[in-house]
Amino acid sequence: MATASTLPWVEKYRPTELKDVVGNQDTVDRLNAIASTGNMPNLILAGEPGIGKTTSILCLAHALLGPAYKEAVLELNASDDRGIDIVRNRIKMFAQKKVNLPYGRHKVIILDEADSMTPGAQQALRRTMEIYSNTTRFALACNLSGKIIEPIQSRCAILRFGKLQTEQVLSRLVEICRMEEVKYTPEGLEAIAFSADGDMRQAVNNLQSTASGFGLISPDNVFRVCDQPHPVVIRKMLASCCKGEVDDAVAAISHLWKQGYSAVDIITSIFRVVKIDDTLLDEDKKLAFIREIGTTHMRIVDGLQSLVQLQGLVARLSKPATAFKA
């Protein structure tokens, strides 16, 4: 077992109480209300990876069950154990297990990546939720709640988690840097927040990787570790597009391609820079750029991952402003 000094920071600094969870304040307030009343409904927690879904439900279980937590909580990753047998065996056996709990409390079964479960397993789970509703509550964490069958959705309260804001990620990174005595520059932490795009787990992992590799959190070190197209290069390319300098923009995108970045990495970075940069583009042009980037992203996702697609994009972005309004 890993000691405290060798634990990954993402585990070492994982919140254990709801008050320490970063972001999604409205959703966390609802969980606090559940913890204060003690009557937990079945829950579906939906949202993108790394934004605190599993951590929040673990904190809720700690608040509800206290010392009985170890005996009364079963945590499974449904992306590994996703067949009907796991529902019939492990989940059903745990639901039948006798546990001494505080009055009014229930055992808790946490299913991570629940949208990976097969339809047959979800149907079996629905029946189990019905039979053992007096003693057991279920918490299903998933990326897409639409992949959970409707009979389960109707039995659960659905809580939605959104991406974390850059300021929230930065404040947590600063705390960790101070506790770990890591040297950093403000620009370096902003680079980590940019690369994570609202994913706190990714941000903390990138912070630890950069700190262990270079000892200093600076933009250049961060992008060497994260291996993403540098936003400075992307911004220069967009500036060339704004001036109508097609050759320079095409040369910049070709340079990124030759460095080995995939079309998806490049198009994603272009979108992020356009979205957060308020100095380069006015509102109308930003919307026009996002529309063109979205169209190209769709083609790339469909399988057309070639340099020609990216060069075509920068050529379209280099059109005069009047052409976008036509």
Which domains, from first to last, does the chain contain? 9-160 (3.40.50.300), 166-226 (1.10.8.60), 231-325 (1.20.272.10)
Cβ-in-10-Å burial (0-12, 13-18, 19+) of 218 comes to: middle
**pLDDT value of residue 4:** 47
CA 314 to chain centroid: 29
Stretch (H or E) spanning 57 = helix 53-65
pLDDT, tens digit only, all 326 positions of the chain: 344 467 888 888 888 888 888 888 888 888 888 888 888 889 999 988 888 888 898 898 888 888 888 888 888 876 666 667 677 777 788 888 888 777 778 888 888 888 888 888 888 888 888 888 888 889 988 888 888 889 888 888 888 998 888 888 899 999 999 998 888 888 888 888 888 888 888 899 999 988 888 888 888 888 888 877 888 888 888 888 888 888 888 888 888 888 888 888 888 888 888 888 777 777 888 888 888 888 888 888 888 878 888 888 888 888 765 455 54
Stretch (H or E) spanning 322 = helix 321-325
d(CA 138, CA 73): 10
- What's the order of all strands across the beta sheet hosting 107-112? 73-77, 107-112, 136-142, 43-46, 157-160
**pLDDT value of residue 326:** 44
Q: Can you read off the two tokens belonging to residue 101?
A: 């709990």
* Amino acid sitting at position 98: K
**pLDDT value of residue 320:** 67
d(CA 263, CA 306): 7
**pLDDT value of residue 82:** 61
d(CA 124, CA 116): 14
Q: Is the pTM of this model over 0.85?
A: no
CB 200 within 8 A of CB 164: yes
Radius of gyration for the chain, computed over Cα atoms and rounded to the nearest angstrom = 23
